[in-house]
Every structure is written in C-alpha cells, then in structure tokens.
Amino acid sequence: MNDSDSTPRIGQIVLINKGRDAGQFAIIINAADEKFVLIADGDRRKFDRPKKKNIQHLTLYDYVSSEVRDSLTEAGRVTNGKLRWALTNFVEEILDVVEKGDGFDGERRCN
C-alpha cells in the first residue's frame, strides 16, 4: 500500500497478500500504529487472537462493514460470527458483480 491518502479504517475488508494466510480475506479490527493493523476473520483468526499485519502486505478494499465498525465502537468488541457474516456478504457481493458483468476488476481497492 503506497498511497498516503488511503488509510486503514476499522471494519475495512482486506485481502492478505503475504504470509501463511495469503489469498484470504480479513477485517481490520484495530490499528496498532501507522504501519500495522490487527486483523481477524472470525474463523482461523478469532477476535480474541487477532493477527498483527503490516499494511504493506494487505490490499485494502474500499468497503467497510458498518455492522463490525459499529459493534467495535459501541461495545469495544465484535463476535466472531459477525466477522464471518460480514466477510461472507462481501465475497458474495463481489461474486454477484463479477457474474453480472458489471466489470469489478479490483478498482474499488484503495491501493
């Protein structure tokens, strides 16, 4: 991620590009500092044991799960089920766009 104008946001969907989980989607649940975020997917990476990830190793999508964001801001936590639900909805939305031929080619990504 080289764009200075695209900063990670709580509840934002990311694609992991480097490491053991490369190719999988996750959600940003906290910002550790300016270079690192904490991500979880509710399945392999639970909310209670998030992965600290360098933002340069992630593709940030221009999609924020309002349910996850609201839960984190109101209660300070989110259920693993809600994380899984938000990721499933995001993936289904992308697949629907691709199948309909609306031209989703990753241009909604921030970087």
Spatial distance between the Cα atoms of 49 and 26, rounded to a whole number of angstroms:
13
The answer to whether position 110 is within a domain reads no
pLDDT (tens digit, 9 = 90+) per residue, 66-106? 999 999 999 999 999 999 999 999 999 876 776 676 555 44
Q: What's the pLDDT tens digit per position in 29-56?
A: 999 999 999 999 999 999 999 999 999 9
Residue 28 three-state SS = strand
Task: Retrieve residue 5's tokens.
Answer: 């104008």
Domain-located, residue 105: no
3-state secondary structure of 69: helix
Which distant-in-sequence residues (6+ apart) come within 8 Å of 86 by Cβ?
Answer: 11, 13, 27, 65, 67, 68
Q: Is residue 17 part of a domain?
A: yes
Query: Is 111 inside a domain boundary?
Result: no
Tell me if 80 is assigned to some domain. yes
Q: Does any domain span residue 4?
A: no
Is 41 buried (19+), middle (13-18) or exposed (0-12) by CB count in 10 A?
A: buried
CATH at residue 86: 2.30.30.30
- Give the range of the structural domain holding residue 47, as residue numbers without chain letter: 12-100
97's tokens: 């766009």
The alpha carbon dihedral of 72, 91, 98, 15 has a sign of positive
Q: Which of 5-19, 29-43, 54-68 has the lowest mean pLDDT?
A: 5-19
pLDDT of residue 2: 41
Residue 6 lies in a domain: no
Q: Per the structure block, which two tokens stand in for 64?
A: 């924020």
In a domain, 107, yes or no: no
Query: How many domains does the chain contain in total?
Result: 1
Q: Where are the alpha helices (DSSP H) in 1-111?
A: 66-75, 80-100
